[in-house]
Amino acid sequence: MPHPSSSRRHLLQAAALTTLAPLRTLVCAADPWPAQPIKLVVPFPAGGNTDLIARILVKTMADDLGQAIVIDNRSGAGGNIGVESVAKTAPDGYTLAYSTLSTYALNVGLYHKLAYDPVQDLAPVALTVQVPLVLVVPASSGIRTLTELLKQLKSQPGKFSYGSAGNGTSGHIACHRFVRMADVDVQHVPYKGSAPAMTDLMAGNVHFSIDAPSVVAPLIRAGRLNAIAVAVSGRIQALPQVPTFDEAGLPGLRAYTWNAVWAPAGTPQAILDRLNAAVNKALSTPANTRQIEAAGVVPYPAMNRSQVQEFMKKEYDAWVPLVRSMRMSLG
């Protein structure tokens, strides 16, 4: 039979462990974030503009946060599949989305019903870059001006086609607007990303496309594509020789996208603010800035989360009704 003092000692030890259990839970809950690697979902294939900029930024962000950041290319449905996966993930700061204007606003206007609500289900973290878009044709076509391209497209209505990185992408919207403004009859061929679209464009299987400078500029310099016009108000640093649409003869065509980081709604404010600071630091690092500008995109100045939310609201309010007015629903 156990000695009474031994039994009392065991009872006291059990009571102490019971008392400490909630304290342990509190300590675990207060573990500093991040305590494990972070997954950054890019909802487009590797090799495209969005993927390229994400890969420039993540190393600096990882060094700053003290944890690896692993890029997960999860493409499909114009970026919706990857962003939906983030929107439905636990809001713990370990799964983020690096995506675009398309998945935040354009797709709201394109699809009757999305499986996520970009305003309610996602928390904006930080803006990264604005991406002007460029109209390009195969170099083998011999076309060098907008006038020549329009002459070709109007010569045989319905014969020619344009390629995009996918339904609902910014390049798709830009091409659709171009076709309407130029009043030409051409077909759309969607691809699973910019890389296969450019491959078919260079082969002459489609006849023009509109995409980001980071995608098209190397191919222009290599003599594989001819640049026709940029869809912003002024010429861009990466392709200073390329006229704007205003200069080329189709005034008013504007097409761009932007990249941003999101977390699932409900992510703690302290984590969102820490991520915002890490993204802004990565953008301001001179080496990163040089790579970003060389890719033909423009880094945004540092913004806090309130400024990011205000920016996104304005973009949402501007683009959703515009896309709906184009009557190009994708389901």
Nearest CA to 75 out of 196, 254, 157 is that of 196
Per-residue DSSP letter, 131:
E
Per-residue pLDDT tens digits for 222-235: 999 999 999 999 99
Contact 63, 8 (CB under 8 A): no
Q: Which residues of the chain have pLDDT under 70?
A: 1-31, 329-331
Contact 220, 227 (CB under 8 A): yes
Nearest CA to 305 out of 331, 276, 282 is that of 276
How is residue 213 written in tokens? 């400078």
Contact 255, 175 (CB under 8 A): no
- Provide the whole-model pTM: 0.78
Cβ neighbors of 168 (< 8 A, separation 6 or more) are 77, 78, 79, 80, 102, 106, 107, 110, 111, 330
Per-residue pLDDT tens digits for 276-296: 999 999 999 999 999 998 888
CA angle centred on 132, ends 129 and 138, rounded to 5°: 130
Residue with tokens 């404010």: 269
